[in-house]
Amino acid sequence: MENSTNKLPRHIAIVMDGNGRWAKQRHRPRTFGHRAGQKAVRAIIEACLRRGIEALTLFAFSSENWKRPQDEVGALMELFLKALDREVNELHGYGVRIRFVGELAAFAPALRERMYAAMEKTAGNAKLALNIAVNYGGRWDIAQAARQAAQAAVRGEIDATQIDEARLAGYFSLADLPPLDLFIRTGGEKRVSNFLLWQLAYAELVFSETLWPDFDAAHLDAAIADFAGRERRYGKTSAQVGGGT
Ligand code: IPE
Ligand code: IPE
Ligand code: MG
């Protein structure tokens, strides 16, 4: 039998979608769903810690989510603020290194300061790299990587002709982490919605019908089992990567 621990994804990314529909099913406001979604976040972080996952990247707020009604955006910001106050110390105790990825300058100073404080406090932790994507867009990430490379060229540190895939890769938000292995989207939609575009090149994709507030450790295990059963060929043939003929 195959040893499934060999096939444990090192880096999982999740589009946590379906909070609004979960609330609607219960005839409650969308914010009720977002609050329920936070409990699922906590459960999945703990499940990843127990399973020895090295990196978990969660899509919490996209660069397009600002276009939602103002009261929903405001409620989400309030929830983020409270979650930071509530959860950071405990996650720090578990050895979680928290990082916020995205254009943080757009957030209110009170929220931004808490994000930076959480990152600083947990910077030395090594158990689980937890990345929270906020005001994140995959296209933004590509643009900021290109900008950094251009700036390095202007400073004379690199020659523009040296900017190839490997060099550009180093400027992306999660460049120091293991490559993305498993992408999960809950809530039934089969799209990327401007999440990690560059990093998705060879990730395995799993789409779950489960709405995010209902997504638990058993659903995560099902996604990991699905991943473990995949043959990753990276362009080669099955025989070349040790599979059948
Ligand atoms: C995901 O759930 C949470 C955020 C985007 C902040 P949604 O709020 O998109 O839930 P649905 O897709 O409307 O059900
Ligand atoms: C993606 O979900 C963003 C997050 C989960 C944070 P959306 O609900 O915003 O995506 P679309 O609008 O269905 O593409
Ligand atoms: Mg949605």
> According to the model, what pLDDT value does residue 244 have?
73
Residue 103 CA, chain-centre distance (Å), reads 14
User: Is the CB of 19 inside a 6 Å radius of any atom of ligand 1?
Assistant: yes
Interval between CA 179 and ligand 1 midpoint (Å) = 26
Residue 97 located in a structural domain: yes
Residue 64 located in a structural domain: yes
pLDDT tens digits, residue range 191-215? 999 999 999 999 999 999 999 999 9
Kindly tell me if the per-residue pLDDT of 1 is higher than 70: no
* Percent over 70 (pLDDT), the chain: 97
State the CATH number of the domain containing residue 193. 3.40.1180.10
pLDDT tens digits, residue range 132-160? 999 999 999 999 999 999 999 999 999 99
For ligand 3, a single-atom ion, which residues have Cβ within 5 Å?
Answer: 17
Kindly tell me if the per-residue pLDDT of 245 is higher than 80: no
Residue 141 located in a structural domain: no
Interval between CA 141 and ligand 1 midpoint (Å) = 21
**Residue 89 annotated to the active site:** no
User: Is the CB of 141 inside a 6 Å radius of any atom of ligand 1?
Assistant: no
Interval between CA 28 and ligand 1 midpoint (Å) = 14
Catalytic residue among 6, 17, 141, 159: 17
pLDDT tens digits, residue range 4-53? 456 999 999 999 999 999 999 999 999 999 999 999 999 999 999 999 99
Ligand at shortest distance from the CA of 135: 2
> According to the model, what pLDDT value does residue 3 have?
43
**Residue 216 CB neighbours (<10 A):** 14
* Residue at token pair 């158990």: 127
User: Is the CB of 20 inside a 6 Å radius of any atom of ligand 1?
Assistant: yes
Residue 116 located in a structural domain: yes
pLDDT tens digits, residue range 64-113? 999 999 999 999 999 999 999 999 999 999 999 999 999 999 999 999 99
Interval between CA 44 and ligand 1 midpoint (Å) = 17
Crossing angle (nearest 10°) for helices 109-122 and 70-93: 20
**Residue 17 annotated to the active site:** yes
Residue 143 located in a structural domain: no
Ligand at shortest distance from the CA of 80: 1
Interval between CA 61 and ligand 1 midpoint (Å) = 9
Structural domain for 122, as ranges: 11-135+172-242
> According to the model, what pLDDT value does residue 243 have?
82
- Higher pLDDT residue, 244 or 223? 223
Residue 48 located in a structural domain: yes
User: Is the CB of 181 inside a 6 Å radius of any atom of ligand 2?
Assistant: no
Average pLDDT (146-175) is 97
> According to the model, what pLDDT value does residue 140 have?
98
Average pLDDT (224-228) is 98
Catalytic residue among 3, 6, 19, 65: 65
Question: C-alpha distances in angstroms, 56 versus 1, 59, 97?
Answer: 28, 10, 10
How many independent structural domains does the chain possess?
1
Average pLDDT (163-177) is 97
Task: Classify residue 156 as left (phi > 0), alpha (psi -120 to 50) or beta.
Answer: left
Residue 148 located in a structural domain: no
Residue 15 located in a structural domain: yes
- Closest residue by CA, ligand 2 atom 9: 65
Spell out the SS3 assignment of 142-164. HHHHHHHHHHHHHCCCCCHHHCC
User: Is the CB of 21 inside a 6 Å radius of any atom of ligand 1?
Assistant: yes
Q: Is 96 in contact with 122 (CB distance < 8 Å)?
A: yes
pTM summary value = 0.96
> According to the model, what pLDDT value does residue 240 have?
97
User: Is the CB of 59 inside a 6 Å radius of any atom of ligand 2?
Assistant: yes
> According to the model, what pLDDT value does residue 2 have?
43
Kindly tell me if the per-residue pLDDT of 127 is higher than 80: yes
